Amino acid sequence: MKTKAFLLIIAAGVLWGTSGLFVNFLSPYGITSLQMTALRGMVSFLCMLVYVLLRDRKLLRVKWTELLLFAGIGVGIFGTATFYYASMQMTSVATAVVLMYTAPVYVMLFSVLFLKEKLTPLKLISLICMLIGCCLVSGVVGGLKFDLIGIALGILSGISYAAYNLLTKVAMQRGSSPVSATLYGFLAMTLVALCLCDVPSMAGVLSTKPAMMLPLMVLFGVMTCFLPYILYTLSMKTLPAGTAASLAIVEPLAATLFGVFLLNQALDAFSVVGIMLILLAVFLLGKDEAAS
């Protein structure tokens, strides 16, 4: 059973890592990061709704007090996706994904500062690795040219991802269903994105080549959001949370490899070392969680 769970979470990471391929293909058509978030959110919400209707309709029933928390989760998903896609457009797939994956470090810092969790040696080493890694990836160290706004957006995606994780943790501690939280989170993300993006422009782009664009949008939502979430959830039935968090580094590794080999995005030695340090930081945090 554990072998199956390992394979499920690795598959989820690889699917999440395909985001860069979709962003690279959609950007030349003039689709903004906000519009990508809206399209991905609509598809993911509809797929999750069908999943809930087929699995257990009782999951649609939630308390009014839960809705505000779920809305916060949705805003976290919205910020993660939007800032991530924008950073990817300004920098590279590898840079954007590793900056987003600094999220566990932000969660750790918040927990230590405000939730009075103990700062263990592994957590301290993780923090140091993350800081040095970010400097190397961004180009601050090594005298490389870098896009300051793109780096800032990448860091914001990590902070948004951390907020999403913290709010989801609170929801689970209060007894909420993870499926219900994700369903209404997807809905909130979609509504926020639709309110902020240029819907007529997005519809105009989709209408130019509907036979190609519409299936692509469906694949975008299913492959980068709905399906990996289902696989990840199934794996969590067998694997401890710490082990799952450690294995989640498959996503940035997959995204980096896709960017290098399929999109021809070159990596210099500083970036490679920086990526490895950030992934090491995430891995060590997962090990620390598993040991606690």
Residue 141: its pLDDT value, please?
58
Distance in angstroms (rounded) separating the CA atoms of residues 28 and 40: 17
User: 33, 15, 30, 161: which is closest to 91 by C-alpha?
Assistant: 33
Reported pTM: 0.84
Per-position pLDDT tens, the chain of length 292: 567 877 887 888 889 889 989 998 888 888 999 999 999 999 999 999 999 999 899 999 998 889 999 999 999 999 999 999 999 888 888 788 878 877 777 777 777 777 677 778 888 888 788 778 777 766 655 544 567 898 899 889 989 988 887 888 788 788 888 889 889 999 999 999 999 999 999 999 888 888 888 899 999 999 998 888 788 766 766 666 555 555 666 777 788 888 888 888 877 788 788 878 877 877 777 676 656 6
State which amino acid sits at residue 221.
Answer: G
**Residue 226: other Cβ atoms inside 10 A:** 23
H or E segment at 124?
Answer: helix 121-138
Per-residue 3-state assignment (H helix, E strand, C coil) for 9-29: HHHHHHHHCCHHHHHHHHHHH
Distance in angstroms (rounded) separating the CA atoms of residues 157 and 90: 14
Q: Which two tokens stand for residue 215?
A: 């299936």
